[in-house]
Amino acid sequence: MGRAAVFDVDGTLVDTNHLHVTAWWEAFRQAGHRVPMHAIHRAVGLGAHDLVAHLLGDDRDTDEDDTLSAAHKTLYGTYFDRLPPLPDAGDLLRRLDRDGWSVVLATSAGGPELAALRRALDADEAIRATASADEVEAGKPAPEPVERALELAGAPAERSVFVGDTVWDMRAGSLAGVLCVGVLCGGIPRADLEEAGARAVYRDPGHLLASLTDSPLASGE
């Protein structure tokens, strides 16, 4: 029976959360909306339409959702050639692959954005599969992305771990029945991650890699 190490990407493996905040802030500003950056930051990790709904509310003009999403995508796309991986992110994935884990990405990114993230990681040889926004009907905090990742890995939830940086990640993993591990490099406080379901929390991928033998991703488990 296989076991899966499922990873979120933005803010977990690649240092992009604040780039997303800036791109969304500008997209909202161009459309005449004043949305505080701290509120946008807390919403990063949701799919585009869910993020807009979360920030603008149910009484918004929903006809504007696609325009806002397209503006964000265009603005964020200007960073594609220089997305920075977080410390030791690629080394962590390669180590887990060597230790016998099926490494799968579960992300709201898709298309050219996902391709840019994978180029930044430079660890394709360790990634078994990707559950992207293109493959599920409901994004995080719904469990679908994590469940799809487990399906691709051929691994049961009870033998798998999900690593992410947002409360949406922790809630999605918990609903999928997977043990959740949080990282602080996305900017969300430890207490919030733990309240949302994180069983262990590390600073960043490098800290998790250095602590691997005592973590939920220890090779002997």
Strand-pairing partners, residue 140, are none
Same-domain status, 176 and 108: yes
Residue 217: CA count within 13 A, CB half-sphere: 32
**Cβ(166)–Cβ(188) below 8 Å:** yes
For residue 173, give both structure tokens. Answer: 């993993």
Last residue in a domain, options 78, 110, 127: 78
Binned average pLDDT, 10 residues per bin, the chain of 221 residues: 94 98 98 98 94 96 96 97 97 97 93 94 97 81 94 96 97 97 98 98 98 89 47
Q: Max alpha carbon distance in the chain (Å)?
A: 54
Residue 70 lies in a domain: yes
pLDDT, residue 221, reads 47
CATH number of the domain at 9, please: 3.40.50.1000
Domain encompassing residue 67: 17-78
Same-domain status, 195 and 123: yes
pTM given for the model: 0.95
Give the C-alpha separation, 177 to 162, whole Å: 10
**Cβ(10)–Cβ(183) below 8 Å:** no
How many structural domains comprise the chain?
A: 2
Could you tell me if residue 165 is left (phi over 0), alpha (psi between -120 and 50 degrees) or otherwise beta?
Answer: alpha
